[in-house]
Structures are given as structure tokens and as C-alpha cells.
Structure 1
Amino acid sequence: MNEYNKNKNSTTLTSSQQEEEKEVLDEITNTTIYVVAVIALIPVVAILAWVGRTVVRRKILSGSELNSETGLHRPITEDDSLQVVGGRQYPAVTTSLPQHCFETIQEAPENIPKIDGVDTTDGGIWEFPRSNLRLQTVLGEGNFGKVWKAEAENICGFPGTSLVAVKTVKDNGGKEVEDLVQEMNIMKEIGTHPNIVTLLGVCTEQEPLLLIMEYVMYGKLLTHLREQRAKQSSFFNFSKETDELPDTLTAKDLTKFAYGVAKGMEYLVSKGIIHRDLAARNILVDHNKLTKISDFGLSRNLRDIGSEMYEQKTKGALPIRWMAPESLYFSVFTPKSDVWGFGILMWEIVTLGSTPYPGMGAREVMRRVRDGYRLERPAHCHPQLYALIQRCWSGDMNKRPDFSELRKDLAKLLEDQHGYIDLQNISDTKYYSMDQNPDEEEKL
């Protein structure tokens, strides 16, 4: 009997142990399956996030307002087949290369030294492989750098080749590089807006630094305005617009130019950004006559400095003819200083690209502005439009309108069927002083 009880207890203990072991094994199995599932999900989530980001960026750039302006889908023509490499010109079509197959930039990544002393971190999603970029021709050149027309492969999720604009500096060291990096950072903060040139990517890991932007077909507004002078005999008033002369600007086109800039500046102000160089030379025009603000080399983000104004403490070349009195004499810049520059820009538009304060030197401009002098109303400019321009030039910055108000006022002018700029009666000589090159900044 005792032996029987002993065997029974042994059997019971063994069954209990087996059940415990089974529970442990089940728990381990379930945990293992859970861990494996989580690990397997990580790359799937990462892939979905990447696809989502690409789709969003692509959707932004190909939206109804942007698709026609970016130039990303513009077909490549024979005129685009010039490749510039290392200061020499090479034809794009050779015996060894098929048509439209270009050499990559001479400065291949593996042959370029890393940049020292310049913070180019946080390239993040903006960093673009320079081996996928091919420079073609120079679109513009300033004192410190160049802007190239280029081709980019698979940029921003667009498959194939896209036309882009690439900005770089002449000197790979010093302040010019720092300024370009600052411009890159400003453009990253701006994001996307139909009236602002869109950032597509950057190359910052090696020299030379490259800022990649959308390609805007007609280039600088200043150049576009001046080209119209040869077509003055074909100009029509706003009320006489016709489809027979699609390349001729109308009074409504000129008002639209100003409206687009005001709309873009309204957005910049909402981001806390001041431009500080608002002029016709820094506005681009696409083939739909849409204006886009560009060149953020002097721009600053007021949120970064935690202030409502920016005070420049270093000397340098500045756009004196476009600067407000508080900027000229106290080196203070605010969104209302940009409003002053916008008034000068509108005067440039009205006069088809005249140099502000014709016949005056920089010091005389400063003195006359301080004493209350303002650019006169061109005879062909309607008093109502000039009154709007003149409000931008109030000596008291607090009395100047903001860009939201300017946008609304210009929208009302566009709704009106009245011609506010009489292009048939524009003076061919009175406002077109070219004594001072507005592309060259003057030292303050």
C-alpha cells in the first residue's frame, strides 16, 4: 500500500512537472514569435515611411500650382546638349557616348577632400549624390558664385532625367561657403510654395558645395522686363489683351508679377524669415508668367535669433538702392524693411527694369532717402497703383502695410478691369537710367 501511494505521488509529480514545462515552452515560443514579428516589421515600416515621404515630396512638386513651374518634366532638346567640365566645353554627343548621355561632374566624390571648418550637418533627406548630377551651361554669375543649368537623375522621386538649377561658389573656402550653407538651411526651413523657388537637394559632404533648385525657364524678372523694351511698339493696355502676342507683357502681367511676390513674401513672413534683398534681379519668372522669389544669401530667420529684428554687425556689400532708412542708418532689418524693398521692386516692374534713383550715386541715395526723397510716380503709372507703392516707403516702418495687406490690395487691382500701367505711353528714356548696374551690390 505504501509502495502504491509512493508510485502514485511520483506519477502525479511527473505530470505536474510536464505541465509546467509545457507552459514554459509555450511562453518561450510565443515570446520568440512576437520578437521575430517585431524585428520583421521594422524594415517594412522603414520602407513604407520612405515610400510615403517620396510620394509626399513628389506630390508637392507635381501639384497643379507647381507642376508647370519646376521644369522637372521639360523635355531635353539639342540646345541643352552642351556640357561644361573643368572650364572646358565638350559636346554632349561623341563617338563613345550615345545622344544625351553626359559626363558626370569632374569632381567625382571619391576624388574630393572633405570640407573642414564648415558645419554641413543635417543634410538628411536633402543630401543628393553628386554623381547623379551633370552641369551643362551657366545661367548666371555673380561676384561670389555661379548658377548652372544641370541635369539630375532620379531627384525627389522623379524617375529619369530632370532639368535643375545648381548654385555653387567660386571660392571653396571662407565666408562664401558659410553663406551658401546658410542659404541652404534657410531654404530647408522655407519648404515649398508656388511663389518661391523650390529646394530639390544639396551636396554638402564634399567640395564644391552644391545647392540644387528647380529650373525656372525664363530666368530673372529684371532681364525679362528689359527684354520687353524692344517690343514696346506691340504693347497693349490691360483692356486690349490678345492671344495674338503671347510673348508680350501686358499691364495685367506686370500687376500679377507684383501680386506673386507679395504672396510669396507673406508666406516667408509667416515662417519668420526676412529676405533682405528683394529686387527684380532676385525674382524668377516661369513660362506661365508666375513669379518666384529666389536668392536667399542675405536672408535670416528671426525665430533662430529670438528677436523681431535682425541687426547686422559686420560690414559688407549691401543692396543700398533697395534698403529702408532704418537699414541704411541703423543696420536694422525687419519684415517691414522687406516691405520697403517690395515698393522699390514694384517701381522696377512699372518702369520695365529701370535702375532705382537713376543718375544718383550710393551716398546720394542714402542722403536723399534720409531727407524724405522718394522715387517719383512714372507718368504711365496710375495714381492708385503708385499710392500703394508709396505706402511701402513710409519713414515710420509701423505705418507701412504688411504683405498680407499688399497681397489683398493687389488682388483687388487685378479684379478691376482698369489698366493701372499705360504701356502705350511709357517713356523710352526718362526712367531707363543704366548708370548703375543693379546686379552689383554697393558697399555701405
Structure 2
Amino acid sequence: MNVLDGEAIIRRQRQALRDELSIFAHLQSSSTGGHENVLKLLGAITTIQTDFCLLTEYCERGSLDRFLQEKWKNGAFEDELVFEDNENEQVWKIQRDSNWGDNYQSRRENGLITTSDLLWFALQIARAMQFLTDMNVMHRDIAVRNVLLKLDYTLKVADFGLSRKLKENDDAYYIGNMGTALPIRYIAAESLKSGRFAITSEYWSFGVVVWELFTFAEKQPYSAEFDKYENNGHFYEFLIEHLSSGQRLSVPNSVPQQIKSLLSRLWHSDSKKRPSFQVCRKVIRQELLQSCPNVRN
């Protein structure tokens, strides 16, 4: 890489920070001053021509992907789903042990996370995404690596470098810049082909994030599927072929049945048939109330 290339990269990085600052300012201009599950901007340094800094609130536990990976590596996950003898019917541990829900805080204090914690994370992300939608903002890079975690398990959706504000009359679509690197593993099938992004394509991406939660961000989305790909092509070619044939991510058995059904709908080929974030919140909350009503929801 020569000096000119390096300078071009720095310019793009500065512009991305300016774009992110603009999104932060817009989100915090809401009547509520932001949202509990969206990272809060505390300040910015914009007067130094050669530098550009954003100051945000601090999230003690760091990025959600690292947190999940560490828990899985240390065997610190407690699956709250119990399968009946026929292995098709799922029941919650709380249905077998009435004291289970009362002890959730002690499990956290002992370093364990449970299925209910994963649902609680999913619910918070859905709330944040609903807020972004209400503010006419598309995140375009929602992933567990871009979610931060505080000590009390409050999540903060972050990293708005690829986010775009929709105009009031643009039919909820944004045409992507073909020169911009995009996270194709999270992008809806129709957006991969057309370069057009909509709120409905955000629903698809949210489904991938929920999948990441229940796989503890161990592998990138579609890694297992790509390993079985026989045509030895590029990943982009594989992904287009995989999704066009109606195939989707493999969902693990640790995912509650209602959430599996939700994922299937979020990845519907007809974007108009995907459930909104409001519907996602309702489904996840109902499941959380069954798994552990004591978890804050």
C-alpha cells in the first residue's frame, strides 16, 4: 500500500466518523434524548483538522461477541430448555422446578448465562432497532460485535459508521454506495442482489443477530454451510446461490421453538412478509416470560 492509498483510507475513516457523529446527533435529538439500548454520545472533538474523536459512554463488559465467546469457551452456559421423551416437545426448566426463576440473579453472579439471558439480549436489541426505525435510521451493520454490554446486562447498540438516515418521502429505501465494504453475511438476499436497503432488510439482519446469540458468536454466519460448498467458488457466489435456493442458516436446538419460527419469518424471501421489530419484541418477550419471568423485561 502506497502513501496515497493510506491517505485515502484515513480520509474515508474520518468521513465515517463524521457520518457516525451525524447519526448520533440525530438519534439524541429525539424527545427522549436517545434510547436506553443505544450507545450514548457524550462529546466529540472536531476542531483538529488531522484528527477526529468521538466520546461515548463506557460499557464495562465490552463487546457482546467477546462476552458470549468467553462464556461458551468456559462452559458457562445453562440451557434452560428440556426436551420431553419424544425429543420434539420443549419445556422450560422453570416448569419442572418452581424455584428456578428466583435464582436467576445468583446464576449471573456465579458467572453463568442462561437461555433467558440470550432472550433478554435479543429483546433489548429489538427495542433498539425499533427506536432506530422510528427515527428513520437504518443501521446496516447490526451484529453482536457492534453491541456493547454493561455490568447490569444492559445492551447498547453501537457502531453507526454504515448507518443512514432515510428521508421522509423516499419509500424507506436507500441505495448503497458500491464502493463501500458491507457485511454481506448479515445482508438480506434482495439487498445482496440489488444494492437497495430497506427497513425490511434490517429485519433479516436482526434474525442473523439472534442466530449469533444462540451460537455464541463462535463462527461467522454461513461458515459451516460454506465449508460444505462443492463448487469452490467465492463466498459471495456461494451466498447468492445458497439463499436463492431457499436455504438459510442452520438453527441450533438450543433455540426455543417460537424463536425458530420467528427466525424463519425474518428470513422470508418476500420482504413484506417479515415481522416488524414491534412483532419481534412481542414474541421474544412472551418467550422470556415463560422461561424466567423474574428477568427484567
Equivalent position amino acid for 2:137 in 1: I
1:27-106 to structure 2, matched below 5 A, reads: none
Aligned mates of 2:131, 2:263 — CA distance in 1: 20
TM-score by length of 1: 0.53
2:46 corresponds in structure 1 to: 204
1:305: how far off? Answer: 7.8
Q: 1:357 aligns with which of 222, 228, 236?
A: 222
- Consecutive unaligned residues of structure 2, counting only runs of 5 or more, are 1-5, 29-33, 81-92, 95-99, 227-234
Q: Are 1:188 and 2:25 an aligned pair?
A: yes
Equivalent residue, structure 2, for 1:251: 115
Q: Which amino acid in the other structure matches residue 269 of structure 1?
A: T
For 1:236 and 1:398, the matched residues in 2 are separated by: 34
Q: Is the 8 A contact 1:231 1:248 kept in 2?
A: no
Q: Which has the higher contact order (CA 8 A, sep 6+)?
A: 2
1:400 and 1:353 map into 2 onto residues whose CA distance is 24
Identify the match of residue 371 of structure 1 among 228, 237, 245: 245
Specify the SS of the correspondent of 1:411. Answer: helix
Cα distance in structure 2, aligned partners of 1:244 and 1:256: 15
SS state of the match for residue 232, structure 1?
coil
Residue 202 (structure 2) aligns with: 338
The structure-2 alpha-carbon separation of the partners of 1:281 and 1:230, relative to structure 1 and needing over 3 Å to count, comes to same
Residue 176 (structure 1) aligned with residue 8 (structure 2)? no
Kept after mapping to 2: 8 A contact 1:197/1:293? yes
User: 1:295-320: CA deviations, max 9, x gaps?
Assistant: 00100000278441001142232111
Distance 2:292 2:128 in 1: 25
List gaps (5 residues or longer) in structure 1: 1-168, 420-444
Query: What's the secondary structure of 1:416's corresponding residue?
Result: helix
Aligned with residue 286 of structure 2, among 395, 412, 416:
412
Cα separation, 2, equivalents of 1:400 and 1:234: 30
1:260 maps to a residue whose letter is: Q
Across the aligned residues of Structure 1 and Structure 2, the Cα RMSD in angstroms comes to: 2.2
Name the amino acid aligned to 2:12.
K
- Report what 1:281 is aligned to: 145
Residues 371/315 of structure 1: CA separation in 2 closer, same or farther (3 Å cut): farther
Aligned to 1:222: 65
C-alpha distance in 2 between matches for 1:259 and 1:244: 20
**C-alpha offsets along residues 251-288 of structure 1, whole Å, 9 cap, x if unaligned?**
11100000000001111101100000111111111111
Q: Post-superposition shift, 1:385?
A: 1.5
3-state DSSP of counterpart to 2:156: strand
Residues in 2 aligned to 1:388 and 1:256: alpha-carbon distance in whole angstroms: 15
The answer as to whether partners of 2:136 and 2:167 remain within 8 angstroms in 1 is yes
Deviations 1:225-259 (A, max 9, x none): 10111332663526345415522111111000000
Q: 1 CA distance for matches of 2:14 and 2:166?
A: 22
Deviations 1:347-405 (A, max 9, x none): 00011113211232343122201221111221222222111111110111100011111
d(CA) in 1 for partners of 2:281, 2:7:
37
How many angstroms apart in 2 are the aligned matches of 1:230 and 1:341?
25
Paired letter, 1:176: Q
Asked if the contact 1:320/1:366 (under 8 Å) is kept, the reply is: no
Greater Cα radius of gyration, structure 1 or 2: 1
Q: Which amino acid is the alignment partner of residue 209 of structure 1?
A: F
* TM-score (ref. length: structure 2): 0.79
Counterparts of 1:211 and 1:233, CA distance in 2: 34
Partner of 2:160: 296
Q: Is the 8 A contact 1:218 1:224 kept in 2?
A: yes
- Give the SS at the match of 1:310: strand
Q: Which amino acid aligns with 1:357?
A: Y
CA contact (8 A) 1:220 1:283 kept: yes
- What one-letter code is carried by the residue in structure 2 that aligns with 1:183? E
Q: Counterpart in 2 of 1:97?
A: none
Q: Distance in 2 between matches of 1:268 and 1:417?
A: 28
Instruction: Name the SS of the counterpart of 2:125 in structure 1.
Output: helix
